[in-house]
Every structure is written in structure tokens, then in C-alpha cells.
Structure 1
Amino acid sequence: MGLIRKLKLSWLPSSILLGMFLCWYMLHLIHNTPGRDPDPHIDELKNFPVLFDSSAQLRIIVLTYNRSKSLKRLFDSLLMADYQGERIVLDIWVDRSINGEVHNETVQVANELQFVHGEKNVYVRGQHAGIVNQWLRTWKFSDNPTEICIILEDDLTVSPVFYRWLKSVHTTYKDDDRISGFTLQGVGSIYSGPSALENVNVSKKHLTYLYSMPGSWGFSPKLDQWKEFITWWEKTSLDKSFHPLVPNNLATVWYSENRRQGNAQNIWTMWFIYFNWKFHKYVLYPNIQPKNQGFSNNWQEPGLNHYGHAGLPPTGPLVVKWLPEFDKLSPLPPIVFTNGTILNELNRKITV
């Protein structure tokens, strides 16, 4: 019995060390297993060599990962745009895979692109960032309060006059605190009620309208509202028991289903939808008729958030010609609710 007791005592320190090692190893696996969402609160940019030109009048942020041909197509459309001789900065952000691998062909294309309209910077992430970090951790606010930013995913193309449109809406609505941002997309979908998934239908006499749903096919945040949103998101999302669920909204159904499947980490837009709903904010959409023309096209390609198919036609026609009325936008655009009801400039409801 004494020998057995001695053997037990001699193995005790080793058992403790082995247990500690196994605990560490399991934690290591949890945090490094492919598919785990990166922590959106770890701001990689704090130690990232980002170059900021505070004299930029337009900052174009392009988000890409492994679609080199798509990136080239978007870039070609950016080259054709009218920037009116102003100071433009193009920032291309290349993400890594969940295993930390970089798509060399995409990096090569990004580095070889010649941006004749201004400065071009290519940032290759040091680790996998994911969609949320790509969207919310790229525009680092400079000391230039008039800088316009447009965030573009790589499966888009833009109108030759997209920047003129951005200048017009930012100037016209700079003092409207209801507006959290501006979208280039001409198509808006209804998200509740019997008309869900139908296109928003606003009278052609209105060139713009306000809608609480973000249009991510070319989104231009309003600087002060974006700062407010990022601050709110950083604080609110720390509470892991909280989920940004908006009542009677189809996006909530999609988000909830993705959450059950473990994919909700890829949906930054749900947080912005909740923010707009909670604080009564809106995104300003173009309403260029006929056919819901926009200042961007989405090529519906497969990606982390979309089960598309390469080779599909782009969504909707582009506005290719600048019209005089684009310089004279109404300061009181109608508001569209998620069920398709429209509140016009006289506060009268019109049901589509």
C-alpha cells in the first residue's frame, strides 16, 4: 500500500501538467480551427501600416479576397469614371482565407493596376478578417471632415458618373441627420408584408427616397453617422446575448437562419438595419426611372454571403449620362417603409 501511495504521489504533478497542457491545446484548437469567426473587436488596423491622405476628396475602398477577374472588371469601370480632376485615393483591401492563406493572383492584379486618377494603396490583411471586419474596419477616419468614402465589394461595376452623384447627394443632404448613408444601387426590395421581395416603387417625379434598409452595392457612409454607428456597434456587440433582430422584417428571418447555421458573423448589414430602425435613420436611394437605374451593378457572383453563379447578367441598368436635374435634388425625399408604404414630402401615406 505504501508503494502504491508513493507512485500516486509521484504521478500527481505530471497529471496536473498534462491536464494543463490538454486545456491549453483545446483552447488553441478552438481559436485556430478553420471556419471560426475572427473577433470583430480585435482591430488589426491599430498595428497596420495604413497610409492616410487627408487631402482626399474621395476615398474608394475596394474589398476583395479571391476574385481577381472581378477585381479587374470593377477597376476598369473605376478608370472610366469622371472625377472632375479632384483628389482621389483608391484603397484595395485583400483579405485572407480562414486558414490564413492569401490568393496570390488577386494580390498580383491589385498591385499591377495603374490608377491614373490618384493614389492607389494595396493592403493585404495579416490574418483572416472576414466580411464584418472588412466592412467596418477599413475606413479609418481622417481629419478631413469633407472626405467622401465609397465602399465597394469586388463583384460590382460603377457608373461613369457615380462620383458626381455622390457629390450631389452628400452636398444636398449634409445637414439631414436622418440620413446615415447613401447607396449607388437603383434597386430596393420590400422587406415586410404581402409585397415582400417586390421592388420599391416610388413615383418617377422623385429622384431620391429614404429607406431604412442599407444598399450594399456601393455604400457611401455619412461620416458623422458612420462614427456613431461604429461606436454603437462596438459597444452593443460585446453583449453576446444580444442579437440585432428587427420585428416584422424579412432580413431578421434570414439573419436568424444564418445564426442557427453558424454563419451570422458574415452579415454586417443586420447590425446597420437594427441601428437605422432603433434610431430612426435612413439610407438615401436613387430613383432614376425607367427600370430602377442605378450608379452600380452587382454581377451576382458566388461569395461568402451569396450563392450566385458566375456569368449571370448584372443587376439593373447603369445611369451613364449626367442629367441637369441631378444637380437639383429635392431636400425632402419621400420615406419608404419596409412594407412598401410611402410617406411623401407632405407627410401623407401612399400605399404602393
Structure 2
Amino acid sequence: MRHTTRWDQIDIRGDYNETLNWSIVVLTMNRPASLRRLLNSLQEAEYDGDTVQLVIWIDYRDEEAHDETLRIVNTFHFRHGPRLIYERRESAGLARAWFDAWVPRRKDEHAIVIEDDSEVSRYFYRWLKQAWAAYGTYPGIGGMSLNRQTVRAIVTPGPNVPITNDYKPFLYKLVGTFAFAPHPVHWKSYVEWVRRSFYTMEPLVDGLRTTDWWLRINKNENIWEQWFIYYCYQHDLFVLYMPLPHRQALVVNYAEHGEHHPSKKAGGNRSVAAYEWSEYLQTFPKKLVHYDWDTSPMTCPKIPECRYWEKPPIKQD
């Protein structure tokens, strides 16, 4: 049995523009107010004269919320490029929504996938475009997460303190799940693999809290990130993050009730959208620091040839 998409159950409005290098892909279901907030922030972002394609995937669950979502989407005019809408007539679940969201047709094509309970900084696209220009050929990058890094992948003693890395871009093994810009080559390979493997295996990585979550929840329909974690683990890939002071982030997620946060008590936000084009956002070091599952720094003398990373030696007093 394979993961499949019922295209006969999807209404498509608009055409995919293959000449554009950038797409912003929005995933939405049953949160019309959240979607309106996200679309408004995308409208006000700085695109520096670029034409970008807005792709909106609408999943189906509740008829009343679905109708309101359609009304918002149909009346929204994106000033920065063409709009493409995929409306599902049956529920697909969050995992399939991510797997279907975007498949690159060219190596120089880019996208960012954003869940609807998010809000972007007006500088998110400017930074993302410059980051890909700086690190597009950097070895071992599986993609870029624009939300704050807050989760430590393994449970260790002490508080769970986010990586700051002197507020410079860094590479971490764990993907951020709410606003992710995949590497086009790796993402194409990943989607092809996951569609073959979705019902034939479990993407377990020993020792990770995300594996514990997977085993406890055991819902293929809602957890896409464990598949990407496993894929990156198998291919020695890392995810790029951009830390900022004062809890700023290029994309803020409000953790609202929905597929990603099924608890009715979900909600809240500990970040703010980056409010200035600061010096931090204009700094792209030639050499990136890598961080392990436990958020400790790693070293590797020859990055392109290095497959097995090792922690730096412990300094002796």
C-alpha cells in the first residue's frame, strides 16, 4: 500500500508558474482567523521587487470553518505574484498536506511551507533568499527552519535552553516544523522516498524524544516531521536556523488548536516577529557551527567528506 493523493478530490484554481524561482506554500484547515493573520503578514513582507508565487492548500474537516476559509482565500489579492489554490474535498491529514505541498521541478527552484497558525516577519523572504545564496551549495544542508529553535531532541539534565550561537546562523540536526524551506534536491528525493515507505516502515531514531512522541501518538496522518528526521539521520543532513535576540524570529508560530496541536489547551507564543533588518540578519559566516541532538557543538575537520560527526574534546581544567 502506498501514500497516494486523490487528485479527483482536489479542486485547483490557478496555474503553477514554472518560470518563477520562489513559492510560498500555505497549509490551512479550519482556522480562518489564523489564516487571515498569516496572509496579511505575507502581504506586508518585503520581496524587494521579486515576483513570488503564493500557493494555498486548503484541507477539509468542518464545513462551516471550511466555507469561511474559502471566503478569505477567494477575496485575498496577493500583490506580489500569482496565486494558486488547492482545495481538498476530503480530509488528508497534516502529514499528507506536507508531502503534497511542494515538489520542485528544477534544482534552482525554492519554496517555504508555512502552517496557518503562523505569522511572518516582514523580512523573512529577504533573509531566506540571501541565506540560500550564501549556503545553497553548503554541504549537508537539508533545509532552513525560520521559526526559533527551542526543542532539544534528546532528554538531558538541565533546562532546555535554545541555541544562540552568538546570534549567527547555525546547523542543527532537528527540523523546525512550522515554517520550513527545504533544499530542493533533498526534498524531491525525500518526498519520493516517503511516498514509497509511508505504510511499510516506522521512521524511528533511537533516543530521540520525537521518536517517543511518534510511538505514543502513532498517527501517520498528523506527523510528517519524524519522517524527515529519519531521512536526515540516514543522509547526514542538518537544518539551518537563524537565532535572534529578544525572542525574535523570522516566522512566529502561535501553537493554536489543530492537527499539530490537538489539545484544546494549545496556544500561546513565546516569540515575536523580527521587527528590523538588523545586522544579525545580514551576517552569513562562511563556516557554520554544527549542533548535535543534545544541542552541544560538533566539529568535523573536512565537512564535505565527513559522514560521522564527533563532539569536540572536553577541555581539561
TM-score by length of 1: 0.79
Aligned to 2:216: 257
Output the CA distance in 1 between the equivalents of 2:81 and 2:203.
39
Q: 1:341 aligns with which of 279, 296, 299?
A: 296
More helix by share: 1
Paired residues, what number? 304
Aligned to 1:194: 156
Q: 1:229 aligns with which of 190, 197, 202?
A: 190
What are the superposed Cα offsets for residues 268-292 of structure 1, whole Å, 9 maximum, x if unpaired? 111011111111111101122343x
> How far is the alpha carbon of 1:311 from its aligned partner?
9.5
- Aligned identity (percent) is 26
The answer to whether the Cα contact below 8 Å between 1:57 and 1:86 also exists between their aligned partners in 2 is no
Structure 1 residues 100 and 45 mapped into 2: Cα distance closer, same or farther (>3 Å)? farther
What are the superposed Cα offsets for residues 293-341 of structure 1, whole Å, 9 maximum, x if unpaired? 2101111210122145689543312222113453441132111111121
What aligned pairs does 1:1-352 form with structure 2 within 5 A after superposition?
A: 41-45=3-7, 49=12, 51-97=15-61, 103-143=66-106, 145-195=107-157, 198-204=160-166, 207-239=168-200, 242-259=201-218, 263-291=219-247, 293-307=248-262, 312-324=267-279, 326-343=281-298, 349=312
Structure 1 residues 340 and 138 mapped into 2: Cα distance closer, same or farther (>3 Å)? closer
Output the CA distance in 2 between the equivalents of 1:203 and 1:42.
41
Output the amino acid matched with 1:254.
W
Q: Residue 137 of structure 1 aligns to a residue in which SS?
A: helix
The answer to whether the Cα contact below 8 Å between 1:300 and 1:310 also exists between their aligned partners in 2 is no
> How far is the alpha carbon of 1:46 from its aligned partner?
8.2
Structure 1 residues 217 and 238 mapped into 2: Cα distance closer, same or farther (>3 Å)? closer
Output the amino acid matched with 1:135.
W
> How far is the alpha carbon of 1:167 from its aligned partner?
0.6
| Structure 1 range deviating more: 189-198 or 77-86 | 189-198
TM-score by length of 2: 0.87
Q: Residue 61 of structure 1 aligns to a residue in which SS?
A: strand
Output the amino acid matched with 1:250.
R
Structure 1 residues 348 and 54 mapped into 2: Cα distance closer, same or farther (>3 Å)? same
> How far is the alpha carbon of 1:265 from its aligned partner?
2.4
The answer to whether the Cα contact below 8 Å between 2:26 and 2:57 also exists between their aligned partners in 1 is yes
Output the CA distance in 1 between the equivalents of 2:260 and 2:134.
33
> How far is the alpha carbon of 1:92 from its aligned partner?
1.1
The answer to whether the Cα contact below 8 Å between 1:61 and 1:150 also exists between their aligned partners in 2 is yes
Structure 1 residues 231 and 46 mapped into 2: Cα distance closer, same or farther (>3 Å)? farther
Structure 1 residues 167 and 196 mapped into 2: Cα distance closer, same or farther (>3 Å)? farther
Output the CA distance in 1 between the equivalents of 2:119 and 2:2.
28
Structure 1 residues 128 and 86 mapped into 2: Cα distance closer, same or farther (>3 Å)? same
- Listed as ranges, the gaps of 5+ residues in structure 1 are 1-38
For CA contacts below 8 A with separation 6 or more, give which structure has more relative contact order. 2
The answer to whether the Cα contact below 8 Å between 2:2 and 2:198 also exists between their aligned partners in 1 is no
What are the superposed Cα offsets for residues 21-61 of structure 1, whole Å, 9 maximum, x if unpaired? xxxxxxxxxxxxxxxxxx86212348854621022232111
Output the CA distance in 2 between the equivalents of 1:275 and 1:177.
16
Aligned to 1:9: none
Output the CA distance in 1 between the equivalents of 2:231 and 2:266.
35
Structure 1 residues 172 and 210 mapped into 2: Cα distance closer, same or farther (>3 Å)? same
The answer to whether the Cα contact below 8 Å between 2:22 and 2:53 also exists between their aligned partners in 1 is yes
- Listed as ranges, the gaps of 5+ residues in structure 2 are 302-309
Structure 1 residues 100 and 68 mapped into 2: Cα distance closer, same or farther (>3 Å)? closer
